[in-house]
């Protein structure tokens, strides 16, 4: 007789509780695969009465008969078939969980550095810095958190992030022992694809807000620079067509459509490779970009080494044409 809908619900409830009863589930599977309690007990190196007791307990807890017993061995009942199907899934999930736990344990046992960074750093400087750093420090696990100084600052204070790379912070909001070291002068620049009508405009400033912009979201950039630019030039605030944190998507949209893009001057060369160029207007805002850190973290040799690499790479870029 098949399990009723009500019993099936209770049945599944017990099934997921059984994840904590790995010993019983394994014995049940062994009996199914051996088709014999005696063979299963030998395979598991457990006494036959013990295996029989385990099966009786399972049947009692579930309120159903799992096996049909005969002199030839045991066969699954329909209820037993259901338990066997889900038991295999439970063991599979258990295996996946153990792999994940092992991976996490390995990561925790390694020296870990967590870096917070935005578009410019992630795209222009970090790839080269991290590749060179890990050639000689492959014991260090690097974790990248995407965002701005504003959104990541609290994580640095709580030691959830080791270093933040980004725009000069509001010093009134910086709490000791956090420090900021400015490394590069930057500007927020307005960009468009070379085919964009804005490049044919006689008054590009006035025409900027006629076109749709791509927003990176407040978590990436402070929008005050755009607002101040519009106030200075007595134009309306831009209309944003969409919001994304994906620099790749933003670039591809700008190539395919008539969008206006705003990104740091540091990214000028990368954008030029996609035929995206600065619009001939003043920068939205100028500032410095650098590294936010706690002095105490620099006592860690791995962190100090990475910090020195970041400073050195930024200085080299500063001495070149941004």
The CATH code belonging to domain 112-319 is 3.40.190.290
CATH 1.10.10.10 occupies which residues in the chain?
5-106
Sign of the C-alpha dihedral computed for residues 89, 91, 96 and 97 taken in this order: positive
pLDDT in tens, the chain (322 residues): 334 444 454 445 444 444 445 788 888 999 999 998 889 889 888 999 998 998 888 888 889 999 998 888 889 999 999 999 988 888 888 888 888 777 767 656 568 899 999 888 999 999 999 999 999 888 888 999 988 888 888 888 888 899 999 888 775 566 678 899 999 998 999 999 999 999 999 999 999 989 999 988 765 555 668 888 999 999 999 999 998 888 899 999 999 999 999 999 989 999 999 999 999 999 998 888 999 998 888 888 899 999 999 999 998 888 765 5
The CATH code belonging to domain 5-106 is 1.10.10.10
Nearest 5 degrees, angle CA 156-CA 157-CA 158?
Answer: 90
State how far the Cα of 120 lies from the Cα of 202, in Å rounded to an integer: 30
* pLDDT at residue 169, as a whole number: 78
State how far the Cα of 102 lies from the Cα of 61, in Å rounded to an integer: 32
Concatenated DSSP letters for 157-188? HTTS-SEEEEEPP-GGG--TTEEEEEEEEEEE
What is the pTM (predicted TM-score) of this model? 0.62
State how far the Cα of 281 lies from the Cα of 283, in Å rounded to an integer: 7
* pLDDT at residue 205, as a whole number: 94
Nearest 5 degrees, angle CA 97-CA 98-CA 101?
Answer: 85
The candidate with the shortest Cα–Cα distance to 288, out of 153, 207, 139, 185, is: 185
* pLDDT at residue 259, as a whole number: 95
CATH 3.40.190.290 occupies which residues in the chain?
112-319
Instruction: Say whether 145 sits in a helix, a strand or coil.
Output: strand
Place of tokens 């062994």: 30
How many other C-beta atoms lie within 10 A of the C-beta of residue 313? Answer: 18
State how far the Cα of 210 lies from the Cα of 241, in Å rounded to an integer: 12
The candidate with the shortest Cα–Cα distance to 317, out of 261, 265, 276, is: 265
State how far the Cα of 196 lies from the Cα of 317, in Å rounded to an integer: 29
Q: Where are the alpha helices (DSSP H) in 117-237?
A: 119-120, 126-136, 149-157, 204-207, 224-232
Judge contact between 185 and 234, C-beta under 8 A.
Answer: no
């Amino acid at each position: 007789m098949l399990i009723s809908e009500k019993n099936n619900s209770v049945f599944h409830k017990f099934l997921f509780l059984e994840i904590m009863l790995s010993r019983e589930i394994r014995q049940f599977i062994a009996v199914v695969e051996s088709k014999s309690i005696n063979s299963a007990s030998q395979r598991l190196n457990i006494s036959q009465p013990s295996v029989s007791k385990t099966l009786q307990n399972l049947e009692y807890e579930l309120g159903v008969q799992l096996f049909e017993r005969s002199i030839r061995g045991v066969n699954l009942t329909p209820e037993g078939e259901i338990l066997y199907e889900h038991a295999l899934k439970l063991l599979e999930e258990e295996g996946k969980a153990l792999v994940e736990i092992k991976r996490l344990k390995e990561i925790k046992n390694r020296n870990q550095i967590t870096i917070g960074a935005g578009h410019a750093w992630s795209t222009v400087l970090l790839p080269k810095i991290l590749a060179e750093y890990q050639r000689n420090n492959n014991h260090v696990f690097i974790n990248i958190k995407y965002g701005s100084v504003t959104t990541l600052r609290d994580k640095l204070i709580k030691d959830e992030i080791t270093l933040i790379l980004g725009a000069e912070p509001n010093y009134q909001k910086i709490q000791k022992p956090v420090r900021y070291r400015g490394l590069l002068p930057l500007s927020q620049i307005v960009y468009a694809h070379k085919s964009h009508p804005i490049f044919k405009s006689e008054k590009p400033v006035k025409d900027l807000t006629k076109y749709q912009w791509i927003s990176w979201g407040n978590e990436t950039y402070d929008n005050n620079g755009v607002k101040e630019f519009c106030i200075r030039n007595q134009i309306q605030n831009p209309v944003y067509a969409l919001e994304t944190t994906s620099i790749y998507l933003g670039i591809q949209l700008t190539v395919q459509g008539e969008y206006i893009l705003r990104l740091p001057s540091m990214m000028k060369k990368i954008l030029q490779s996609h035929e995206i160029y600065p619009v001939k207007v003043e920068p939205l805002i100028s500032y410095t970009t650098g590294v936010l850190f706690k002095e105490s973290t620099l006592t860690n040799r791995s962190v100090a080494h990475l910090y020195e690499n970041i400073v050195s790479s930024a200085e080299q870029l500063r001495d070149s044409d941004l």
